[in-house]
Chain A
Amino acid sequence: MIKVQGLSVSFGAVQALRDVTFEAPTGQITAVLGSNGAGKTTLLRTISGLKAPVGGTIMLNDHSLVRLRPEDIARLGVGHVPEGRGVIGEFTVEENLRLGAMMAKVNLREGLEEQYECFPVLGERRRQHAAKLSGGERQMLAMARALIAKPSALLLDEPSLGLAPLVTAQLMQTIHELCASNNLTVILVEQNASSALRISDQAVVLHLGSVVANDAAGVVANDVNLRQYYLGMVG
């Protein structure tokens, strides 16, 4: 479980997050939704240690993550797939996966086979440079690279960005299955609210850095005001 309490983050005079509080339970997907500039990416970057908060706490089960370095947070079992995927284009698919597996106490061969089974296209392209993969394949690689370390929590930042609707639907289904089969704590940041709400258990809606809704995904999906004013969903 990831528990965020009273989290505030600033970029100079600009406050990006104000007193954000929510819980992301184990084995469930928590969607973080909101328009551009709502603070979604900043929230994930703060949880994974890339940005220091000015106040508040972040707990991963019993561990406080505040003031830890990103590499230490990763070693505690938090996998972060950043916006734009963050695969290393100069590395082959397999080198990207080897890098992901490096810090975890997992058998590399078994880990690779597991990911190739889950994402068969990566197995077929294991010797190819990541730069030559399509957008969807890169997203799969980024997720496989995070999953190979057997994380207990997975932070996904805009995984559907730039993907075709069909690929997005498949990806969301994969995220849903992975969360259930690995008992993961997933925090899913998305602009594509309808896709995210379809697979999520909880939803947190951010607006200008503040939480405006924190409820079950079904409740948020059916709230006309939230849909219209904060999620840009019509009908």
Chain B
Amino acid sequence: MDPFLTSRIVSDILSGLTNGVIYGLVALSLVLIWRSTGILNFAQGAMPMFATYLGMGLLSYHLSYWPCVAIAMLAGFAIGGLTERVLVRGLYGKPEINPIVVMVGFLIVLEGVAAAIWSTLPRGLPSPFSSIDWQLGGKPFALSDFTVFEIVTALVVMTAVALLFRFTKLGLQLRASALAPEVSKLLGVRVGRMLTLGWVLSTGVGTITTILVASNFFTGLTPQVMDGIFAFGFIAAAVGGLESPVGAIVAGVGIGIILQFVGDYVNSNAIILTALVILIVSLMIRPNGIFTKSTARRV
């Protein structure tokens, strides 16, 4: 067996890739809302967390893993749709700070309510696949059945979202509703429905991500489970470009790998600092993001 495959470098790349696809999925869910409603959702980690508690909590009632995942997804869709209808609908066209303040407040409320209902102690979720690293020539290889599942899931979701936006009528209507709501209405697009759908899809992607994170043996589910990951996902979305689903995933993976190397070769305390430096440098060089061609609308 080639010793390179089990070397520290390959191990870091694979671990970084596994973290990176998660950051990429969070970034993708932010991009989905931005592209369909032009709002940055700071509760994008908390809303799926709540849906995951609602769905995966049914494991306690002897429901098996996959039905719980399906229920969590449905809860995610419902929370996304309701949030748009009840909380966000009145914020369109208002100063940009308004939705930011409201969604930060909603994040705090959701985490507080989740803590009150389910406590802040980590709740272990069963993993659908083994988290034990594969062995190559008797040495550990930094991939497991579960991490491969994570990577494949991210690729499938990313491809589906990119195809949706690029090639479908629905994707075109979602984008048009965000970019030019009045013109879209004049062309017969049901803009209100599109805005709701953007939030539904985004919270669905977020719920998939949260289930993957919480199903990891080392993490478990807590009310704050997505807080740190949201920060890296947010940076990935800004670096990749808020208009680009592909950019979100590529930037997420890139940041995941860079931070893994920084943590391994420099110091784990330097990870957050490095992420912020990446964000600042990226915004200075490409303010609209690496993969976004159009001009920025608002930040």
Contacts and interface: CB of A to CB of B under 8 A. Distances in A.
Interface in A129-176: 129, 131, 145, 149
Question: Which of under 10, 10 to 19, 20 to 34, or 35 or more describes the interface residues of B?
Answer: 20 to 34
A103 B187 contact: yes
Contacts of B186: 48, 50, 70, 74, 79-80, 82, 86
B189 A71 contact: yes
A208 interface: no
A98 B182 contact: no
A75 B172 contact: no
Contacts of B175: 90-91
Given A100-B187, A102-B169, A145-B187, A90 B179 contact: yes
B172 A102 contact: yes
Contact of A95 (B172, B182, B183, B190): B172
A102 B293 CA distance: 25
Nearest to B169: A102
Contacts of B176: 88, 91, 99
B173 interface: yes
Interface in B125-140: none
Contacts of B191: 71
Given A90-B294, A95-B172, A102 B180 contact: no
A48 B184 CA distance: 12
A142 to B, nearest CB: 9
B38 to A, nearest CB: 12
Which of B185, B186, B243: most chain A Cβ within 10 A? B186
Contacts of B173: 99, 102
A69 interface: yes
A74 B188 contact: yes
A80 B184 CA distance: 11
B189 A99 contact: yes
A74 B187 CA distance: 6
Contacts of B179: 88, 90-91
A99 B172 contact: yes
Is chain B's binding surface mostly helix, strand, loop or mixed? helix
A104 B169 CA distance: 13
B172 A86 contact: no
Contacts of A87: 183
A70 B187 CA distance: 8
A31 B77 CA distance: 49
A74 B180 contact: no
A161 B179 CA distance: 23
A230 B175 CA distance: 42
A82 B294 CA distance: 23
Interface in A45-71: 48-50, 69-71
Contacts of B188: 71, 74-75, 102-104, 149
A49 B185 CA distance: 9
A48 B191 CA distance: 15
7 contacts: A49-B185, A71-B185, A74-B188, A80-B186, A87-B183, A129-B293, A129-B294
What 5 pairs between A and B have smallest CB-CB spacing? A103-B188, A74-B188, A70-B185, A86-B183, A90-B294
